[in-house]
Structure 1
Amino acid sequence: MPRSAPLPLLARSLAALLVVALAGCAVKQPRTDDPWEPFNRRMYAFNDKMDKAVIRPVAVGYRKMTTPNMRRVISNFFANVRMPITIGNDILQGEGKDALKGTGRFIINTTVGFLGFFDPASKLHLPPQETDFGVTLARWGIGEGPYLVLPFIGSTSARDVWRMPVDSWFFDPMSRYARRHDHPYKQQHWPNLAFLVTLRAGGIDAESLLEGTYDPYVFYRDAYRQRRLYLIYDGEPPLEAIQLMQGIDDEDIDALLEQQREYERGRKDRP
């Protein structure tokens, strides 16, 4: 899978991608590959209501009861517990070197790092990496398929949706533990719930990105697809992959940037 692109063109394409995502529907979207958009928008609205009513208040309460250092340590723990997901998929992708690095990171942080609460592996030049079965399918040549929003889950795609059952069943230690135990009050599921709370709490700082966004649905959709693209290409997506995701040609980029400038000037001129 190609991983190089002319740097100036790549930078311009990334800039266009960013401004289109931030502008929402203020600039006409070049996207034409969201065939399930009516269903997705209904699910997005449902998830947004659930988030505001239940999930976000719990995450806010968690942030109030913890310090940034406490949250960082807890996030380290969950990242380490879920490391087998990355290791297993590195093996499926044929990335033996990455699998060995991930294994070394997991062992060091589990032992020296006190069950993963601390991250000495990063200081030993074993930085965190992330992959999953959706990326594995992409490396095997499976196309992304239509964008999909599911209740309680959020953004995914016809390809990426398979990462949830596969990674949970084969690689995720917390999910395997929950399946094999039956504690009072369903306590076997509490670690997974706590992990989800830490994820949502970490996203609160990024909520300001939605301010001024005309269509949050479009913002989330494009942000999700951009993040997945970067995971598939190890942070270096080729220009043609970015253009394919956005459905734009080289000559469209300058026009999109100019449209965004006009949109921003129009906002400044409003009373």
Structure 2
Amino acid sequence: MLFPALLLAALATGGCSTAPVVVEGDEPEPPVFSASRVLRPDVEQFGDMDDPFAPFNKTMYRFNYRVDKYVLLPLVIGYYKVTPRFLRAGVHNFFVNFRNITTFFNSVLQFSGRKSAQTAGRFAVNSTIGLAGLFDPATAMGIPQHDEDFGQTLGKWGIGAGPYLVLPLLGPSSVRDGVGLGVDWYVSNWAREALLDPNDWWKRVWTFLYVIDTRAHVRFLYYGTGSPFEYRLVRELYTTKRRLDIEK
């Protein structure tokens, strides 16, 4: 629902879109990821999964749906209506570049010299030539983008995911990934304070833009899969995606 890239982005198998699609009523909304393209919506295809918190998780899933529908999506629609595309692109590039800090941190902890060097290179290029990350010359230079988080780091260290967990406002997760999210938040917040020394006003602007930009680039819409088993389908997609992230 806040959908940090760590969580709901894991549900998006397509690329990010910088422009909304037109839906009923000609209201722009974020692109929708149809999970039915991956799994048949009319067949329950899910094996046993570790979900002892299912009653809580399903309650949070419905709560997050309402927050998404009545708060986040209207904000995203308004943001797209009043903000020029070039400015939205700059905001998105800025946050993607800033996330390189946590990716670098986790790449080092994963003992990946290649990813660490490439991520440091991207951050250096985009933070200088790219004007604080508003532009992305690193991609044009062929420097690949990586996305590592502490949940993946724990997984690479051999720590199991633990039970599936739907976090209030944050969406699909697990016990391990929830811990990882807290560590990544701490590192990101420390970096923001150290590099930018933002005042309270700037922090509020940062948080607002981060939430809106992140939600706008997540190709997922609650109850948009067409499946009567959406809760389990999303759980399966999230769990599978995280496993693949760790194995890569």
TM-score, normalised to structure 1, is: 0.70
Question: Is 2:247 the partner of 1:230?
Answer: no
CA distance in 2, matches of 1:129, 1:177: 23
Deviations 1:106-138 (A, max 9, x none): 000011111111111112221211001000000
1:24 positional shift: 4.7
1:167 positional shift: 1.2
Stretch moving more, 57-66 or 80-89: 57-66
1:187–1:68 CA distance, 2 compared to 1 (3 A): closer
Which of residues 86, 95, 99 in structure 1 aligns to 2:112? 95
- Matched residue, 1:66: 83
CA distance in 1, matches of 2:43, 2:160: 29
CA distance in 2, matches of 1:233, 1:68: 36
Structure 2 contact 76–215 (Cα < 8 Å) conserved: yes
- Matched residue, 1:200: 215
Structure 1 contact 24–215 (Cα < 8 Å) conserved: yes
1:60 positional shift: 1.2
Q: Structure 2, unaligned stretches of length 5 or more?
A: 1-34
- Matched residue, 2:138: 121
Q: Structure 1, unaligned stretches of length 5 or more?
A: 1-17, 235-271
Which of residues 228, 232, 244 in structure 2 aligns to 1:218? 232
CA distance in 2, matches of 1:164, 1:137: 11
Question: Is 2:161 the partner of 1:144?
Answer: yes
Q: Secondary structure at the match of 1:115?
A: coil
Deviations 1:120-173 (A, max 9, x none): 111222121100100000011000111101111111101000122211212445
1:118–1:146 CA distance, 2 compared to 1 (3 A): same
CA distance in 2, matches of 1:176, 1:165: 17
TM-score, normalised to structure 2, is: 0.76
Task: Find the structure with the greater CA-based Rg.
Answer: 1
CA distance in 1, matches of 2:95, 2:240: 24
CA distance in 1, matches of 2:162, 2:88: 35
1:27–1:102 CA distance, 2 compared to 1 (3 A): same
1:218 positional shift: 2.0
Structure holding more helix per residue:
1
AA paired with 1:191?
A: W
Higher normalized contact order (CA 8 Å, seq sep 6+, divided by chain length): 2
CA distance in 2, matches of 1:22, 1:176: 43
Q: Give the paired residue count.
A: 213
Deviations 1:54-110 (A, max 9, x none): 111101111222344433322111111121100001111111221111111100001
- Matched residue, 2:26: none
Matches within 5 A, 1:183-198: 183=200, 187-198=202-213
